[in-house]
């Protein structure tokens, strides 16, 4: 497929083992925007147990998780991932909108469009899938990507068999102060949607290893700038809709038919752990697990204990 490259496409180098099947390029969403994708599959002669759709976090991009993709490939799973609009090597509205979320609904639509693209354009190139039924799909995401992933499942466009979430941000305790701020943010998101008014996360709390923060700051495809008013409003709205969705408590819903694994760090002070645990307790999924890793910060797939985290994921997938 002929694609155009983002001006910053080559600013993040990735070395992939030559034995793995590697695909990358761009697909076009419903708004005629080019979005970058990256996919890895096990060697051609290896059997394929399933395909994992991985969703990155806010201000992040998909090629920062190649370590995880390689481990999944070693276990017999393919991985498909893409950069959200205004993220990574995908279409940006302007040089000043990196990390901006104009519409959370558009992100869900783009994710579903990417899965459709993968089924039609990538899967036929995988020898293990030629002449076979569609592979089992697993959905995963980190932080904001987990929130997007859950809404993608709820959209019902594609069938998934399992889900694992890292540092999921599903909601926050709405104190009186936060309710007041949310009201102000709602107004600002309409008046000045792209203005960066909201202080960013405490990035030092994302990773225990300071080297990861330095790498992130130096990454031209990532951003640590203040959050736009519209991004914050769309994130809060998505959290609110998820918490209010009755299907998470209905055993016969597609959402609750999934095997689900929540992965969190004991030192995660970014995601509201109290709200996440309450959300988890409400889930009607028969097969659900909440795993806490001692000493780990918010980014469970990147902290020094990432080998332990990924090993747990692989054991869980093999069950």
Task: Pick 270 or 9 by higher pLDDT.
Answer: 270
Q: What is the pTM of this model?
A: 0.93
Percentage of the residues of the chain whose pLDDT score is greater than 70: 93
Residue 39 covered by a domain: yes
Residue 265 covered by a domain: yes
Q: How many domains does the chain have?
A: 1
CATH code for position 84: 3.40.50.1820
Q: What are the tens digits of pLDDT across the range 64-106?
A: 999 999 999 999 999 999 999 999 999 998 878 999 999 999 9
Residue 5 covered by a domain: no
Q: What are the tens digits of pLDDT across the range 181-207?
A: 777 888 888 888 898 987 666 788 899
So what's the pLDDT on residue 226?
87
> Residue 127's domain spans which residues?
18-174+204-224+246-318
Residue 230 covered by a domain: no
So what's the pLDDT on residue 177?
60
Residue 2 covered by a domain: no
Residue 12 covered by a domain: no
Residue 57 covered by a domain: yes
Is 100 within 8 Å of 230 (Cβ atoms)?
A: yes
Is 185 within 8 Å of 232 (Cβ atoms)?
A: yes
So what's the pLDDT on residue 236?
93
| Overall residue count recorded for the chain in this entry | 319
Three-state DSSP at 311 gives: helix
Percentage of the residues of the chain whose pLDDT score is greater than 90: 75
Residue 210 covered by a domain: yes
Section 214-230 average pLDDT: 91
Task: Pick 14 or 10 by higher pLDDT.
Answer: 14
Is 6 within 8 Å of 86 (Cβ atoms)?
A: no
Chain mean pLDDT for the chain: 91
Q: Which of 256, 237, 72 is nearest to 163 (CA)?
A: 256
């Amino acid at each position: 497929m002929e694609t155009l490259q983002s001006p910053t496409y080559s600013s993040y180098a990735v070395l992939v083992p030559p034995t793995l099947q590697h695909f990358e390029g761009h697909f076009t969403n419903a708004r005629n925007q080019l979005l970058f994708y990256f996919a890895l599959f096990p060697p051609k002669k290896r059997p394929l147990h399933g395909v994992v759709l991985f969703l990155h976090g806010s201000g992040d991009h998909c090629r920062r998780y190649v370590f995880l993709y390689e481990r999944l490939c070693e276990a017999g799973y393919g991985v498909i991932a893409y950069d959200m609009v205004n993220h990574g090597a995908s279409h940006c509205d302007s040089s000043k909108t990196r990390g901006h979320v104009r519409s959370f609904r558009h992100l869900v639509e783009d994710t579903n469009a990417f899965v459709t693209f993968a089924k039609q354009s990538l899967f036929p190139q995988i020898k293990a899938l030629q002449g076979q039924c569609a592979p089992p799909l697993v959905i995963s995401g980190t932080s904001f990507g987990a929130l997007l992933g859950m809404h993608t499942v709820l959209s019902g466009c594609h069938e998934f068999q399992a889900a694992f979430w890292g540092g999921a941000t599903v909601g926050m305790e709405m104190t009186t102060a936060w309710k007041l701020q949310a009201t102000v943010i709602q107004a600002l998101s309409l008046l000045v949607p792209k203005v960066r008014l909201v202080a960013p996360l405490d990035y030092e709390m994302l990773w225990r290893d300071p080297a990861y923060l330095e790498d992130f700051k130096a990454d031209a495809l990532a951003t640590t700038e203040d959050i736009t008013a519209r991004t914050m409003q769309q994130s809060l709205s998505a959290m609110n809709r998820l918490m209010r969705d009755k299907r998470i408590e209905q055993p016969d819903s597609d959402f609750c038919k999934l095997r689900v694994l929540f992965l969190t760090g004991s030192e995660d002070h970014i995601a509201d752990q109290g709200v996440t645990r309450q959300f988890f307790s409400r889930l009607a999924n028969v097969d659900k697990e909440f795993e806490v890793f001692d000493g780990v910060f918010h980014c469970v797939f990147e902290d020094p204990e990432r080998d332990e985290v990924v090993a747990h994921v692989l054991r869980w997938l093999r069950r």
